Chain A
Amino acid sequence: MTDTSYPLYLDLAAGLFLLTAVGVLWRHQLAAMIRLFALQGAALAAIVAILGVHQHSLELILVALGLGVLRAGILPYLAARALGDSAAEARETRPVVNVAASLLAAAALTLLAYAVTQPLVALAPSPATAILPAAVAVVLIGFFTLVTRRRALSQVVGFLLLDNGITATAFLAAAGVPLIVELGVSFDLLLVVLVLQVLTTRLRTAFGSSDLDELRELHD
């Protein structure tokens, strides 16, 4: 990879990374949302791998492989399993904010991300930090998905988007946090998804569906 094509590949991967997040807001079907999330995991792994190749760092390339297995393989698999047999018809029917408004919100959040990340880019301008706004935009879109979707599984996907965005920020800004912390983070993430999967199963046994609209018993 030459020095001129490096920013190009990086921009391409970051574009895919952001586009998949917007795609999650656009699609209704939970199965499609999980596929988009898997694609985003692959884009994340590609970003890290490109950074690794550019910096001639074997460690980063290996981390990229691990990230790819976890976020494009294991996590989507677990999410799909939580979906159960009802995969075909499981849809996000009544989001708090409808799709058109969600897409507008995604555009606004992306602009916001560009505004707030200005000091981050200014600290060390480089092709890698130039795409930090895309990573932060994914964080914001993930958070937005988390608070505006009613299905248990869409909320999980929102949380995972948020986490992908944060991981991308970590690698773009600082070539990753220390390995022990990164391992702890990945392990924690895996456990959170497992916990959520078990809870979804129990919720389904108790409620008959995992539509969080049914969660109305606790309030003041």
Chain B
Amino acid sequence: MTILLLLAPIGLPLAAALLYAVAGWRPRTTAWAGVASTALLAADALGLAGTVTRAGPVHTAGAVLRADALSAWMLLGVAAVALLACWASPAYLAAGHTSAAQARWYAILLHLFIAAMATAVLAGNLGILWVAVEATTIVTAFLVGHHRSRTALEAAWKYVVICSAAIAIAFLGLVLLYYAAQHAGLSGEEALDWTVLAGHAGQLDPAVTRIAVGLAVIGFGAKAGLVPLHAWLPDAHSQAPAPVSALMSGVLLPVALYAVLRVKSVADPALGAGYLRTLLTILALATLALAAVLLIGQRDFKRMLAYSSMEHMGLIALAAAIGTRLAIAALLLHMAGHGLAKTVAFLSSGHILHRHAGSRIADVRALATRMPLLAGLFGLAVLALLGFPPAALFASELGIAHAGADAGMSWATAAAFVFVVVAFAAITAHTGRMLLGPPPAAAADGTAPAVFAPATALPLVAGLLGVVALGITLGPVAGLLQAAASTVGAP
């Protein structure tokens, strides 16, 4: 039974991809198969979360796949955002006048992407985790270039080249870690298994491990949008179709940070907490500073959301640097809240884009009077991202600040929140200009933009309700979050 729970998250999206490969994308029938498959995935993730909370970690034979509380939490996030993205896809493709062949490829790659992320969070060792993270780059390359415009192709090219090189650097790190593990008496797949490695941390050669961990964190960090290899992120997130941007920003970045957390669980016992704390604090503050500065002069609303993702990932990296149990719990809550809120923001930005000439902020005026429902959803998603209560991000940001002060990192935390405030001001100003102001003169050619149907709004409303629910009470998942935080958090 537990084996099935572990295999289904990978099998279900693969089955959906196969279905689309055979039957193609039909707006009234197969379009909804993806929703069904991701709904089952969500149910499976809930089942796995229950099992793990009750009975502890589970694994398949040979520990190729394994789930502990942290994996189960990540899988819940993947499933929730995947469900919203698949639910919103039919409306997105219908509005974009996509050809049948393009829609088929879109559906196949989208589900392969979900399968790769599920594999990454359920991987039992660092090698398989690496292969899965690299696979996400390959399957999303053509999703980023879906529109085949010059800008989309340019974004796809940058994305593949930078991410593949970065992830290759992470692999070099894993190779060196494996080398150190071999000389600590481990062999085969054991030597990449983080539970075994953490158990033998004392025997790992510190000099080699230091190089290995540094390379792995920089490599996986690039995939999470941390400096110095972040240049792909704003381009890829702004050019990809809206549901894909939602998945990339809402869960792919957290999955890459999850890889960093797994590396950290080996590094801290081997090298002491100080080494990664310093490295991650530098990466986090640099990312936050860059995102805040580039948000100020931003002219494109999809790029604004992309830089906001970098800002949130910087904050999450800071929480990882703090590394206490409270910090990790806040980090995981922040991942979930950001994932849902950013999904709603990207999905609504896709609908806004379809109704305007381009994605420039200057093109959009007085949205609140022209399309109140769409404007309301976008505005609420942005408010949630800014950390207004009752959104989950309010609680998690408070948690990160509190944990930072407790751990003696007041200066770094204070600096980080200065950048967060700058980003807050910039995003508020840009969003205000989009939603408010006098309505523009009627379109010269007299065509009115397509009406935003309430049915299209359902996945967005569901996402917003999720963010608020997580902010008010964790309910049944509170135990899971605590268990997840104690798997990687220092006491």
Contacts and interface: CB of A to CB of B under 8 A. Distances in A.
Contacts of B145: 199, 202
Contacts of A188: 131, 134-135, 138
A16 interface: no
B157 A218 contact: no
B208 A166 contact: no
B179 A162 contact: no
A1 interface: no
Interface stretch (A66-74, A93-101, A170-178): A170-178
A162 to B, nearest CB: 6
Contact of A215 (B154, B160, B175): B154
B304 to A, nearest CB: 11
B168 A218 contact: no
B211 A119 contact: yes
A192 B160 contact: yes
A184 B138 contact: no
A97 to B, nearest CB: 17
Given A159-B164, A159-B165, A180 B128 contact: yes
A139 interface: yes
B300 to A, nearest CB: 9
Contact of B161 (A155, A206, A207): A155
A169 interface: yes
A119 B176 CA distance: 11
Contacts of B155: 218
A19 interface: no
Contacts of A180: 127-128, 189
B117 interface: no
Contacts of A163: 168
B421 to A, nearest CB: 21
Interface stretch (B180-188, B324-332, B377-385): B180-188
B153 interface: yes
Nearest to A124: B183
Given A218-B151, A220-B294, A196 B161 contact: yes
B303 A220 contact: yes
Interface residues of A, number: 42
Main secondary structure of the interface of A (DSSP, over half): helix
A180 B126 CA distance: 12
Nearest to A174: B179
Interface residues of B, number: 52
A84 B130 CA distance: 33
A199 B156 contact: yes
A140 to B, nearest CB: 11
A123 B208 contact: yes
A218 B235 contact: yes
Contacts of A146: 161, 165
Contact of B189 (A178, A198, A217): A178
A123 B183 contact: yes
Given A120-B208, A192-B160, A199 B141 contact: yes
A174 B211 contact: no
A104 interface: no
Interface string B142-184: 1001001111011111101100110010011011101110110
Given A123-B179, A123-B183, A202-B148, A178 B153 contact: no
A143 interface: yes
A173 B211 contact: no
Contacts of B153: 199, 202-203, 206
Contact of A192 (B138, B157, B175): B138
Contacts of B151: 217-218
A191 B175 CA distance: 21
A162 B165 contact: yes
B179 A120 contact: yes
B222 interface: no
Given A180-B128, A181-B130, A220-B294, A173 B150 contact: no
Ranked 8 nearest A-B pairs via Cβ: A119-B207, A181-B127, A184-B131, A173-B179, A170-B175, A215-B154, A174-B179, A218-B235
Interface of A: 116, 119-120, 122-124, 139, 143, 146, 152, 155-156, 159, 162-163, 166, 169-170, 173-174, 177-178, 180-181, 184-185, 188, 191-192, 195-196, 198-199, 202-203, 206-207, 212, 215, 217-218, 220
26 contacts: A119-B211, A120-B179, A123-B179, A123-B180, A146-B165, A159-B164, A159-B168, A166-B175, A170-B175, A174-B178, A177-B175, A180-B128, A180-B189, A184-B127, A184-B131, A184-B134, A188-B135, A188-B138, A191-B138, A192-B160, A199-B157, A218-B154, A218-B234, A218-B235, A218-B239, A220-B298
Given A123-B207, A169-B172, A199-B153, 5 more contacts: A120-B208, A123-B183, A162-B168, A188-B134, A218-B239
